[in-house]
Amino acid sequence: MTGHPTKHLVEARSLRKVYQPSGFTAVDGIDFTLTRGEAFGFLGPNGAGKSSTMRMISCVSPLSGGTLRVLGLDAATRGSEIRARIGVVPQDDTLDEELTVRENLLIYGRYFGLPRAVVRERAERLLEFARLSDKADDQVSALSGGMKRRLTIARGLVNEPEILLLDEPTTGLDPQARHLLWERLYQLKAEGVSLILTTHYMDEAEQLCDRLVVMDGGRIVAEGTPRQLIESHASREVLELRLPPGEQAMAAEKLDGLADRVESLPDRLLLYAGDGETTLAAVHARGIVPTTALVRRAGLEDVFLTLTGRTLVD
Amino acid sequence: MASAASPPSAAVPSHTPPPLLREFSYWLHRYRRTWRGTVVISVANPLLFLAAIGAGLGKLVDRGGSSYLHGSSYVAFFAPGLLAAMAMQTGFIEAAGPVFQSARERGNYRAAAATSMSPADILGGHLLFMAFRLALSATAFTAVVAAFGITGPLRALLLIPAATLTGMAFSAPVAAWSVTVTRQARINGVFRFVLMPLYMFSGTFFSTDQLPRWLHGIIACTPLYQGIALCRSIVAGTATAQGTALHTGYLAALVLLGYLAARRTFTRRLNG
């Protein structure tokens, strides 16, 4: 590899997106930076502004305000050049179902103006990468959801992009398909491809992202590595208590002072504490008998709950 | 090959086709799978019409002898009208459904827009494919018309660009509209309530001279009437410089206006 001129692959300052004619503000002045080689995530519920941000980075949606530089180029004026050097994996695949798996790669590669022979050779390698070589001549409509998503990722790599953008890469996939996909994305990371992804799955963000921002209502509410975010916005462990119907409110009062923070959800209480087992013993000592009690490590779900007071999946 | 001193952008080899041709080649690729079905609608159907109405019904018409035909046989009057009407229909069908599908469910416009292609490239390539489809249908139709001696080979050759232009006068504005459409039913509605009346009453089957003057005046403003007049003047050998300029100018203006509108609507839809 030769030396790269830009260390910051993406740089956004006060980035805004306002949709007309409704005037709806989807992205409300956000700042972030992507450095080469890292996997960067946008975490947040539906409507947080993640996809709008992604569309602006992939230069298919003009900015309404602020500045955005991708690969050192101004996204507002150099869209076509930027798009030539990034890969996009949209949420809805946009594969041509009537064409074969290989044809989809060939046609997409041609869109970048790549010579036929180059696209052919890359298509074979990418089919291998996506574990779709034996499906190469099947029509796309016959593929499973996981296979389609892997094909979309392979397609997004056909121009050998410096950044790959993935919008909700595993939404709608079964657990097995998700894990295979994650595994493929690890390999890409290992090969030095920078990733930007959006997700509303905590485990996905924790698995894949080196660094992430939490978005809510078009703004960034927190930023850091998954570990940092958990450490600064949640305790080390969480004790989850389910109580008999009707007793939760009373129990919550009695628990006062036992944990760093108590969060009351419709169906359970969350106690944020350094040591969950000790806290559970203290709960029992105060005469509270939960129907079930579970001690787990704090995760990004807890970070989101702390920051916004809401759960991610409503 | 590119020299060491060439700028980074020269890494893209110079022999690559312009972006517009990439989109064209996508549609051509799809067409290799679907062309059989289109032969029926854009070639076989009009030929059946030509045989049944032009030759069959035409015999009755010719026996009566009508001054509105200016001495030509009915089939020679009807064939260019049918060609223009067919071009309108193909132009509409190629622009409405496929553009709507591409911008929505099939997503191929969005896929292309995520690459280095611009919305204008995508539009240009698709319009080029529509022109190709129109020229292809027109060629097949006029070959038959010429084979049956309805018109000479030279005039038949002139009919191809005339019919293609007529079709594009519909394709370009329809593409501008259909990229904004949200429901398939809209397209069907326009086909039934706009295209069909045009097909019936723009002079395809009968001379609009026989209608009241005011009605003829209204019809003469429709694009299909202009297309029919252009094609008919070629077959009848009555084309004048002034008339041809008027007809082609009218149709070309529609193509241009449609294209300019489509550039806006495509950009808004794909890059908004």
- At A263, which helix (H) or strand (E)? strand A261-264
Confidence of residue B8 (pLDDT cuts 50, 70, 90): very low
Using a CB-CB distance cutoff of 8 angstroms, which residues of chain B are in contact with residue A159? 115
Out of B13, B26, B270, name the one closest to residue A107 (CB). Answer: B26
Out of A58, A107, A113, name the one closest to residue B114 (CB). Answer: A58
Alpha-helical segments (H) within chain B: 19-39, 45-49, 58-64, 74-103, 108-113, 119-147, 153-178, 184-190, 196-201, 213-219, 223-236, 241-270
Whole-structure pTM value:
0.88
Phi, psi of A118 (to 5 degrees): -65, -45
Q: Please compute Rg for chain A using Cα positions.
A: 22
pLDDT at B6 over 60: no
How many Cβ atoms are within 10 Å of A63's Cβ, its own excluded? 19
Q: How far is the CA of B147 from the CAs of B141, B142, B152, B178, B256, in angstroms?
A: 10, 8, 9, 37, 34
Q: DSSP label at A100? A: B
pLDDT at B1 over 50: no
Q: Which pLDDT belongs to residue A312? A: 63
Q: What is the ipTM of this complex?
A: 0.85
Q: Please compute Rg for chain B using Cα positions.
A: 21
Q: Are A265 and A311 in contact (CB under 8 A)?
A: yes
Between B60-64, B156-160, B184-188, the lowest mean confidence (pLDDT) is in B60-64
Sign of the Cα torsion A202, A207, A209, A211 reads positive
Chain A to chain B Cβ contacts (< 8 Å): 83
Q: Which pLDDT belongs to residue A6? A: 67
Between A142-146, B56-60, B120-124, B135-139, the lowest mean confidence (pLDDT) is in B56-60
> Does the distance separating the beta carbons of A62 and B271 come in below 8 Å?
yes
Q: Which pLDDT belongs to residue B2? A: 35
Give CA angle at B73 (B72, B76), nearest 5°.
Answer: 85
Sign of the Cα torsion A273, A276, A282, A285 reads positive
Residue-wise pLDDT tens digits, B193-242: 999 999 999 999 998 988 899 999 999 999 999 999 999 999 999 999 99
Q: Are B247 and B88 in contact (CB under 8 A)?
A: no
Q: Are B226 and B249 in contact (CB under 8 A)?
A: no
To the nearest 5 percent, what fractions of chain A are helix, strand and coil? 35, 30, 35
Give the nearest chain B residue to A99 (CA atoms). Answer: B30
Coil vs helix vs strand at A86: strand
Using a CB-CB distance cutoff of 8 angstroms, which residues of chain B are in contact with residue A88? 114
Using a CB-CB distance cutoff of 8 angstroms, which residues of chain B are in contact with residue A113? 12-13, 16-17, 19, 22, 116
Does the N-terminal peptide bond of residue B8 adopt cis geometry, omega within 30 degrees of 0?
A: no
C-alpha to C-alpha distance for B182 and B194, rounded to whole angstroms: 19
Q: DSSP label at B40? A: I
Cβ-Cβ contacts under 8 Å for A43 (sequence gap 6 or more): A50, A198, A199, A200, A202, A205, A209, A212, A213, A214, A215, A300, A304, A312
Give the nearest chain B residue to A157 (CA atoms). Answer: B115
Query: Which of B135, B141, B136 has its CA nearest to residue B79?
Result: B141
Using a CB-CB distance cutoff of 8 angstroms, which residues of chain A are in contact with residue B9? 81
Residues of B with CB under 8 A from a CB of A: 9, 12-13, 15-17, 19, 22-23, 25-26, 29-30, 33, 106-108, 110-118, 270-272
Tokens 């051509």 belong to which residue?
Answer: B28
Q: Which pLDDT belongs to residue B3? A: 37
C-alpha to C-alpha distance for B169 and B95, rounded to whole angstroms: 11
Q: Give the strand pairing for A65-70 and A73-74.
A: antiparallel
C-alpha to C-alpha distance for B117 and B124, rounded to whole angstroms: 11
Between A26-35, B30-39, B170-179, the lowest mean confidence (pLDDT) is in B30-39
For each successive 10 residues of chain A (314 residues), what is the average pLDDT?
67 96 94 95 90 96 97 96 96 93 97 96 96 96 95 96 94 89 92 92 88 94 92 90 88 87 89 92 91 91 84 61
Q: Are A311 and A304 in contact (CB under 8 A)?
A: yes
- Quick one: tokens of B246? 């008027």
Residue range B175-204: average pLDDT?
Answer: 95
pLDDT at B64 over 90: no
Distance from CA of B90 to the nearest CA of A (A): 22
Q: Which pLDDT belongs to residue A250? A: 86
Q: How far is the CA of A177 from the CAs of A145, A170, A193, B39, B73, in angstroms?
A: 8, 8, 21, 42, 69
Phi, psi of B77 (to 5 degrees): -75, -40
Q: Are B128 and B171 in contact (CB under 8 A)?
A: no
Measure the CA dihedral B86/B89/B91/B97, to 10°: -150
Cβ-Cβ contacts under 8 Å for B219 (sequence gap 6 or more): B201, B202, B203, B208, B211, B225
- Cα A190 versus chain centre, distance: 18
> Does the distance separating the beta carbons of A58 and B12 come in below 8 Å?
no
C-alpha to C-alpha distance for A270 and A280, rounded to whole angstroms: 11
> Does the distance separating the beta carbons of A88 and B12 come in below 8 Å?
no
- Residue A270, phi-psi category: left (phi > 0), alpha (psi -120 to 50), beta (remainder): beta
Residue-wise pLDDT tens digits, B67-110: 777 778 899 999 999 999 999 999 999 999 999 999 999 999 99
Distance from CA of B272 to the nearest CA of A (A): 5
Query: Which of B102, B79, B122 has its CA nearest to residue B178?
Result: B102
A153 touches chain B (CB under 8 A): no
Distance from CA of A241 to the nearest CA of B (A): 45
Q: At residue A156, what is the residue type?
A: G
